[in-house]
Chains A and B, each alone.
Chain A
C-alpha cells in the first residue's frame, strides 16, 4: 500500500510544519466517500477520537485498534434519501449529526449509541428545504430553511443522550443564508454569509438580527468558515469558490477580512492563494484555527497557514486517484483526506 500513498510536497522552509502520512482506512464494501469526520466516542469507560465515514446510504464509525489500524465499530444503514454531509457537533461525545437529501438537504438525522438498551440508534431532528447547517458549541445545531417565501433560522439543542430540546428561532434576513460560523470571543454571536454576498450577525440568546454588512462584488458567493472578534473588529475567514483569478492576488482560495461591526466598513487582511504555477480552482475545504485545507479542481489537496497567507503543503493526487474531500481532525492537527473511491487517509500536519 505504500506505493498508493501520495507524497506531500512542502512549499517553504518551515521544517516543523509537515504533512506526514499516518494511516489508511480500508473499507472494501464502500464504493464512494461522501464525507468524513471525527467524533469523540466513549465505550466501556474509554473515550477515543474515532473516525466517521459517510457513503450515500450508510455511515460508519471507526475506532483506532493499533497505531496504523482502524476497526469498524458500527454502520448505520440509512433509507432511500442519500447522505450529503456529516455535521460535526463540537465538544460532544457519542453523537453524530448527518444531512440527507437530493442536491439540497431535506433531512437532518442524529446517530447515537443508547446505553439504556445497549443499541445504536438514529433519530430524525428536522425536515424541510434546508439551505445551511452548522453544529455549534454546547450540543446545538443551527439551520436555515426555506418554505415558500419565508426563511426560517432555527437553533436546536440536544441532551447528552441525544434527545432534541425545544428550538429557538432567530430573526431571518431577506437574503438566503448559505453558511454559518460561530464568533469566537463573543459568546452569543453567530455569523452567516448570504447568497447576495452579505454577512449577517445574530444574537443567539435573544434571536435578534444585529447587522448586515456587504462583502463586496469582487468575490461573489463567499462562504464563511470561521469568525473571531478581536480589539473591536470582527475577523472573518471566507472561501471564494467562484472567485476570478487576478494579477495582484492570484487565485484566492481563502481570504481574511476585518469588519467593523459598528460601521459595516471592512478591509481585506490577508489572501491565501493557490500555489504559484499550480493550475486549478478551490473546490471545497475546511478551516481549523489558523489552518485551512482545500481540495483543488486538479485533484490535489492544499494546506495554508492563514496567518502567513501562504500555502505550506500540497498533497498531489496519488496513483489511486484524485482527492475529493479534506477535513481537519477534532483532536490535534490531523488531516483526513478522502478519495472518490471511498479510500480515506489520515495525515499529521
Chain B
C-alpha cells in the first residue's frame, strides 16, 4: 500500500491522536 492510498502516515500517530483527542 502506498502513502497515496492511505494518506499521510505518521510514525507518532498514537502521541498525535492523544494530543488531539478530548481528555
Which A residues contact B (CB, under 8 angstroms)?
Answer: 186, 188-189, 201, 203, 206, 208-211, 229, 231-234, 258-263, 265-267, 269
Q: Is the CB of A265 within 8 A of B14?
A: no
By a CB distance below 8 angstroms, the chain B residues around A267 are: 1, 5-6
The binding surface of chain A is classed by DSSP as strand
How would residues 1 to 23 of chain B score, 1 for a CB under 8 Å from any chain A CB and 0 otherwise? 10001111111011011100111
Q: Is the CB of B13 within 8 A of A206?
A: no
Known: A260-B7, A262-B8. A203 touches B13 (CB 8 A): no
What's the Cα separation between A229 and B16 when bound, in Å?
14
Q: Choose from A201, A209, A232 the contact partner of B9 (Cβ within 8 Å).
A: A232
Chain A: minimal CB distance from B19 (Å)? 10
Q: Choose from A209, A229, A263 the contact partner of B14 (Cβ within 8 Å).
A: A229
What's the Cα separation between A229 and B12 when bound, in Å?
10
Q: Is the CB of B17 within 8 A of A211?
A: yes
Q: Is the CB of A203 within 8 A of B18?
A: yes
| With A186-B14, A260-B9, A261-B13 already in contact, 17 other A-B pairs whose C-beta atoms are closer than 8 Å | A203-B18, A203-B21, A208-B22, A210-B14, A210-B18, A210-B21, A229-B14, A231-B9, A231-B11, A232-B11, A234-B13, A259-B6, A260-B8, A261-B14, A262-B7, A262-B13, A262-B16
By a CB distance below 8 angstroms, the chain B residues around A209 are: 21
Which B residues contact A (CB, under 8 angstroms)?
Answer: 1, 5-11, 13-14, 16-18, 21-23
Cβ-closest 6 pairs across A and B: A263-B7, A232-B9, A260-B6, A210-B17, A261-B13, A267-B1
By a CB distance below 8 angstroms, the chain A residues around B9 are: 231-233, 260, 262
Q: Is the CB of B17 within 8 A of A262?
A: yes
Q: Is the CB of A201 within 8 A of B17?
A: yes
The chain B residue sitting closest to A210, CB to CB, is B17
What's the Cα separation between A266 and B16 when bound, in Å?
19
The chain B residue sitting closest to A234, CB to CB, is B13
Known: A210-B18, A262-B17. A232 touches B5 (CB 8 A): no
Known: A232-B11, A232-B13. A206 touches B6 (CB 8 A): no
Q: Is the CB of A266 within 8 A of B14?
A: no
Known: A233-B6, A262-B10, A267-B6. A206 touches B16 (CB 8 A): no
Q: Is the CB of A266 within 8 A of B6?
A: yes
Q: Choose from A186, A188, A211, A258 the contact partner of B6 (Cβ within 8 Å).
A: A258
What's the Cα separation between A201 and B21 when bound, in Å?
11
Chain A: minimal CB distance from B10 (Å)? 5
Interface centre among B6, B8, B16, B18 (most CB of A within 10 A): B6
Q: Is the CB of B18 within 8 A of A265?
A: no
What's the Cα separation between A173 and B7 when bound, in Å?
25
Q: Choose from B1, B5, B6, B14 the contact partner of A203 (Cβ within 8 Å).
A: B14
By a CB distance below 8 angstroms, the chain A residues around B1 are: 233, 258, 267, 269
What's the Cα separation between A259 and B13 when bound, in Å?
11
By a CB distance below 8 angstroms, the chain A residues around B18 are: 203, 206, 208, 210
